[in-house]
Amino acid sequence: MTLEVGWFDLLKIWGPLAFGWIIAYLLIRFIMDQYKADIESRVKLATALESLTKIVERVANGKN
């Protein structure tokens, strides 16, 4: 008994799995990029609000 497996048989078995990994990688990368942009925008907003709070406190205390 010999096991002869051709390239077509290997491609038929492993091809969809290989494409699945590529699609999963691209999807995860897209999600992480979106998440990173969300975090950066929240950090910028927090920084701006912190600066605004300090300015309002200075004005309320009578310091210019």
Classify the phi-psi angles of 5: left when phi > 0, otherwise alpha if psi is within -120 to 50, otherwise beta: beta
For the chain, give the DSSP string: ------HHHHHHHHHHHHHHHHHHHHHHHHHHHHHHHHHHHHHHHHHHHHHHHHHHHHHHTT--
For residue range 21-46, what is the model confidence (pLDDT) as tens digits?
888 999 999 998 889 988 999 999 99
Average pLDDT across the chain, whole number: 84
Average pLDDT, stretch 44-56?
96
**How far is the C-alpha of 38 from the C-alpha of 61, rounded, in Å?**
35
